[in-house]
């Protein structure tokens, strides 16, 4: 028999098992359980789940759904207890699989939402009565998903689980010699999925927790710490301790009774939302759009107050942009005033409102308004923010480099190793393709997992100069640091410069001693990039619950996150380290020896433009004849109805034009220019002002006594 998700299972067995599952919903049998499945758009694998439809069943009536998350080593099945209760309540029951041993993180969390969407497609479900429960790993899933998405569920219930990431890491992935040590770049990823770290979110979520005092696997501190934190916040919740061993106190009857009395509150008047990843920064009627710093928590507290419920008070911390989704039904008035940290930022009808911070030259927040003056261009979003594991939650292709005779075999081995491990783990049948076979459609629809270097993979060679960490054969450049030698490897995620809506992952090398799922491991294994020494054998971990069986960070020589604009910016001065290194290397006698010495407001080459301007424009900070300027504005205002504005360009930049009818302003932003509206002549671009921007009020340039232009560039 082929055991579900066991790393020891032969690939052929997994493929046969997957082939035996009927894709899609079988004919519904009321009062009976069936095995259902869907085809994953990520890798084409068939993912199963158990389903129970209550008897009697009226398809025209919305039905509540209770999801059951399996414990570690479990799998989706047709085994349901409490079906009599489900029949009485009209509940649909679901046994989740979670994509195997994924701790319901990354692809495991994706599995829950895919199953939910399958149910929505086939049945009329009650969106205000969704419930999730489980014990052990299932109990972690129940509270993790509930705390991340508090507006989705009416209630969640979990037992005997690692709700405190510090205990989770210590017991499962801790280093043998120092189990409490957590590599700093891993910590924010672990915090993101730790209910204790985001307990603020569940002000309106019904939470049930239980722990077993005799549990020899999960320390009691996990439950007691979270219970104390919810008490500290003043949040109502249910907490119980039982005398038995692991999961012996997990009682579905008690949990079902708890669920039966709870209904979701979809639009509370006061909302608290905390997240350190934008993909988890949306709930109820608020959304976090931009964090101040990668990996650090941002929090928003929004309340509808005032005698007439016409004031929205917002308090923020750790973020620089947010959106409120206000409606007349929510606010109950036709006009609202929004106060952000005590500052009036909006007055008008309740609608979708985006509020942005105003920043000074040092990046400090000096105010808030509905005018977005934040840096433009490439930035982290909920759809594209890393870390490496995020690239495996949507469709991807493995691309092995074939352009080097000496390295083609190595690239093939590493790509096929990935495929074999993924197929065994995920019951899929993916396989690498050659770099020369990549098409425009592949770039448009898939994340590309690129095996090799710029010398051995043609796709990497095409984009290498646009990456914050660059790689060649036996040489890696990460900002101001260089690593030379065949012993260095690199894992990195970055928006594909050929299509920033999708990722590229660079994979070169493997860490000795790791076991299974090297690169495609769970989201808390890897930050945005890791440079590692392939000769270093890491120390063993405390537990062998889940591969890898070694403490991977032992082999890391440099690792971290890119900033909110996908830059490698070690000193956080808004300049990319690669750019600063140009200045460091320009003059060995200038006293500028480290990136911390580079002044963004300075003008190293004396061309009249400061370093920050030159960085944004893509010009050289060490060449006085390389500076950013408008080349021409023609014809003169009175001679024609149109103006032509021309300028030099640089790769990876977005351009903005402002116009005014006086040199003193006020200046009106025409907006980010659509490339289709710009004439392309090599590295020169020309934009024609035809008077079509709404700010011009329909006035043609030739009808104005004068018109002035300013051009800006952003990454």
Q: Which of 270-279, 369-378, 650-659 has the lowest mean pLDDT?
A: 650-659
The rounded distance, in Å, linking the Cα atoms of 224 and 203 is: 18
Q: Which of 27-31, 303-307, 406-410, 620-624 has the lowest mean pLDDT?
A: 27-31
Question: What pLDDT does residue 570 have?
Answer: 82
Q: Which two tokens stand for residue 233?
A: 């916040």
- Enumerate residues 6+ apart whose C-beta is below 8 A from 387: 189, 493, 523, 526, 527, 528, 561
- State the pLDDT confidence band at 699, using cuts at 50, 70 and 90: low
- What is the separation of C-alpha 211 from the centre of its chain, rounded to a whole number of angstroms? 31
The rounded distance, in Å, linking the Cα atoms of 95 and 141 is: 13
Question: What pLDDT does residue 698 have?
Answer: 56
Contact 642, 701 (CB under 8 A): yes
Cis (ω within 30 of 0) for the bond into 609? no
- Tens of pLDDT, residue by residue over 189-234, are 999 999 999 999 999 999 999 999 999 999 999 999 999 999 999 9
Provide the β-strand partners of residue 207: 156
Dihedral in degrees, nearest 10, Cα atoms 110, 115, 121, 123: -150
Q: Which of 312-326, 410-424, 506-520 has the lowest mean pLDDT?
A: 506-520
Q: pLDDT: is 156 or 663 the higher one? A: 156
Contact 278, 289 (CB under 8 A): yes
Q: Find, among 309, 342, 336, the residue nearest to 324 by Cα.
A: 336
- Tens of pLDDT, residue by residue over 322-361, are 999 999 889 889 999 999 999 999 999 999 999 999 988 7
Cis (ω within 30 of 0) for the bond into 635? yes
Question: What pLDDT does residue 676 have?
Answer: 43
Contact 218, 160 (CB under 8 A): yes
Contact 449, 398 (CB under 8 A): yes
Mapped onto helix, strand or coil, the DSSP state of residue 146 is helix
Contact 335, 304 (CB under 8 A): no
Q: pLDDT: is 712 or 465 the higher one? A: 465
- Enumerate residues 6+ apart whose C-beta is below 8 A from 218: 136, 160, 161, 162, 167, 171, 211, 246
Contact 101, 107 (CB under 8 A): no
Running DSSP on this structure, what letter comes out for residue 498? Answer: T
Q: Is pLDDT of 10 > 50?
A: no
- State the pLDDT confidence band at 665, using cuts at 50, 70 and 90: low
How much helix, strand and coil, in percent to the nearest 5, is found in the chain? 25, 30, 45
The rounded distance, in Å, linking the Cα atoms of 614 and 714 is: 10
Running DSSP on this structure, what letter comes out for residue 310? Answer: -
- Hey, which bits of 160-266 come out as E strands? 206-212, 238-242
Q: SS in 3 state form for 221-261?
A: HHHHHHHHHHHHHCCCCEEEEECCCCCCCCCHHHHHHHHHC
**Kind plus residue range of the DSSP H or E element containing 315:** strand 311-317
The rounded distance, in Å, linking the Cα atoms of 683 and 421 is: 45
Please state the CATH superfamily assignment of the domain spanning residues 22-260 in this structure.
Alpha/Beta hydrolase fold, catalytic domain (3.40.50.1820)
Average model confidence (pLDDT) for the chain?
A: 86
Question: What pLDDT does residue 550 have?
Answer: 85
Question: What pLDDT does residue 29 have?
Answer: 66
Question: What pLDDT does residue 11 have?
Answer: 25
Per domain, the residue ranges of the chain are: 22-260, 270-291+295-369, 388-560, 630-714
- Tens of pLDDT, residue by residue over 667-690, are 666 655 444 444 555 567 777 776
Provide the β-strand partners of residue 159: 135, 210
DSSP line for 502-527? EEEEEEE---TT--S-SSS--TTT--
Question: What pLDDT does residue 691 have?
Answer: 63
Contact 451, 415 (CB under 8 A): yes
Question: What pLDDT does residue 18 have?
Answer: 27
Provide the β-strand partners of residue 671: 657
**Number of residues that this document lists for the chain:** 715
CA distance readout (Å), 555 to 170, 177, 234, 552, 654: 19, 15, 44, 6, 38
Question: What pLDDT does residue 304 have?
Answer: 96
The rounded distance, in Å, linking the Cα atoms of 411 and 399 is: 9
Question: What pLDDT does residue 341 have?
Answer: 97
Mapped onto helix, strand or coil, the DSSP state of residue 36 is strand
The rounded distance, in Å, linking the Cα atoms of 82 and 259 is: 13
Question: What pLDDT does residue 585 have?
Answer: 86
Mapped onto helix, strand or coil, the DSSP state of residue 189 is helix
Q: Per-residue pLDDT averaged across 497-508, rounded?
A: 96
The rounded distance, in Å, linking the Cα atoms of 136 and 9 is: 24
Q: Per-residue pLDDT averaged across 240-254, rounded?
A: 95
The rounded distance, in Å, linking the Cα atoms of 461 and 470 is: 10
Mapped onto helix, strand or coil, the DSSP state of residue 368 is strand
Question: What pLDDT does residue 488 have?
Answer: 97
- Residue reference for tokens 């809506």: 501
CATH no. for 630-714: 2.60.40
The rounded distance, in Å, linking the Cα atoms of 655 and 674 is: 9
Provide the β-strand partners of residue 242: 212
The rounded distance, in Å, linking the Cα atoms of 164 and 514 is: 26
- State the pLDDT confidence band at 663, using cuts at 50, 70 and 90: low
């Amino acid at each position: 028999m082929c055991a579900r998700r066991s790393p020891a299972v032969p690939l052929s067995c997994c493929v046969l098992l997957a082939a035996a599952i009927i894709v899609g919903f079988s004919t519904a049998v009321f009062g009976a359980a069936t095995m259902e499945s869907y085809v994953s758009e990520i890798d084409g694998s068939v993912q199963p789940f158990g389903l129970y439809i209550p008897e009697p069943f009226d398809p025209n009536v919305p039905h509540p759904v209770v999801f059951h998350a399996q414990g570690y080593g479990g799998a989706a099945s047709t085994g349901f207890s409490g079906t009599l209760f489900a029949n009485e309540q009209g509940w649909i029951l679901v046994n989740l699989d979670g994509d195997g041993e994924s701790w319901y993180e990354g692809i495991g969390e994706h599995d829950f939402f895919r199953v939910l969407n399958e149910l929505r497609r086939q049945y009329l479900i009650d969106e205000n009565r969704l419930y999730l429960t489980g014990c052990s790993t299932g109990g972690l899933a129940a509270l993790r998903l509930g705390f991340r998405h508090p507006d989705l569920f009416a209630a969640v219930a979990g037992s005997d689980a690692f709700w405190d990431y510090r205990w989770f890491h210590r017991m499962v992935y801790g280093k043998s010699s120092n189990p409490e040590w957590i590599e700093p770049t891993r910590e924010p990823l672990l915090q993101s999925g730790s209910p204790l770290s985001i307990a603020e979110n569940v002000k309106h979520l019904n939470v049930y927790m239980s722990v077993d005092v005799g549990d020899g696997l999960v320390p009691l501190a996990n439950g007691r710490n979270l219970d104390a934190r919810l008490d500290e916040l003043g949040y109502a919740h249910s907490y119980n301790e039982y005398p038995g061993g692991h999961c012996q106190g997990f009682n579905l009857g008690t949990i079902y009774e708890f669920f039966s009395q709870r209904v979701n509150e979809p639009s509370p008047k006061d909302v608290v939302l905390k997240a350190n990843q934008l993909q988890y920064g949306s709930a109820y009627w608020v959304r976090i759009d931009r964090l101040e710093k990668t990996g650090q928590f941002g929090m928003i507290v929004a309340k509808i107050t005032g005698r007439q419920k016409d004031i929205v008070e917002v308090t923020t911390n750790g973020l620089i942009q947010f959106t409120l989704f206000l409606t007349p039904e929510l606010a109950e008035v036709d006009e609202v005033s929004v106060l952000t940290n005590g500052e009036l930022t909006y007055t008008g009808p309740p609608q979708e409102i985006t509020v942005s911070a105003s920043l000074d030259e040092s990046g400090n927040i000096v105010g808030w308004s509905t005018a977005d003056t934040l840096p433009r261009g490439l930035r982290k979003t909920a759809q594209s923010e890393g870390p490496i594991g995020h690239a495996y939650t949507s469709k991807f292709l493995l691309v092995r480099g074939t352009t080097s005779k000496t390295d083609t075999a190595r690239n093939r081995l590493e790509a096929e190793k990935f495929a074999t491990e993924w197929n065994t783990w995920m019951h899929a049948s993916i396989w690498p393709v050659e770099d020369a076979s990549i098409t425009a459609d592949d770039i448009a629809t898939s994340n590309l997992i690129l095996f090799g270097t710029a010398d051995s993979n043609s796709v990497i060679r095409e984009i290498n100069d646009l990456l914050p960490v660059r790689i060649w054969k036996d040489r890696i450049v990460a900002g101001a640091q260089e690593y030379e030698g065949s012993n260095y490897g690199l894992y990195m995620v970055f928006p594909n410069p050929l299509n920033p809506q999708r990722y590229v992952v660079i994979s070169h090398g493997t860490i000795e001693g790791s076991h299974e799922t090297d690169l495609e491991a769970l989201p808390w294994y890897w930050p945005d990039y890791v440079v590692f020494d392939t000769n270093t054998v890491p120390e063993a971990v405390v537990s062998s619950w889940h591969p890898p069986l070694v403490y991977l960070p032992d082999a890391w020589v440099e690792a971290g996150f890119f900033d909110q604009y996908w830059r490698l910016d070690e000193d956080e001065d808004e300049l990319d380290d690669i750019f600063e290194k140009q200045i460091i290397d320009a003059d060995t006698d200038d006293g500028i020896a480290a990136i911390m010495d580079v002044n963004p407001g300075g003008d190293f080459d004396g061309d009249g433009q400061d370093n920050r301007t030159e960085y944004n424009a893509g010009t050289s900070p060490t060449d006085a004849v390389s500076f950013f300027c408008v080349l021409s504005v023609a014809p003169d205002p009175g001679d024609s109805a149109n103006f032509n504005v021309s300028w030099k360009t640089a790769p990876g930049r977005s351009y903005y034009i402002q116009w005014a009818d006086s040199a003193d302003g006020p200046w009106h932003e025409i907006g980010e220019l659509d490339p289709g509206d710009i004439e392309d002549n090599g590295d020169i671009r020309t934009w024609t002002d035809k008077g079509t921007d709404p700010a011009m009020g329909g006035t043609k340039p030739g009808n104005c006594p004068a018109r002035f232009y300013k051009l800006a560039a952003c990454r």
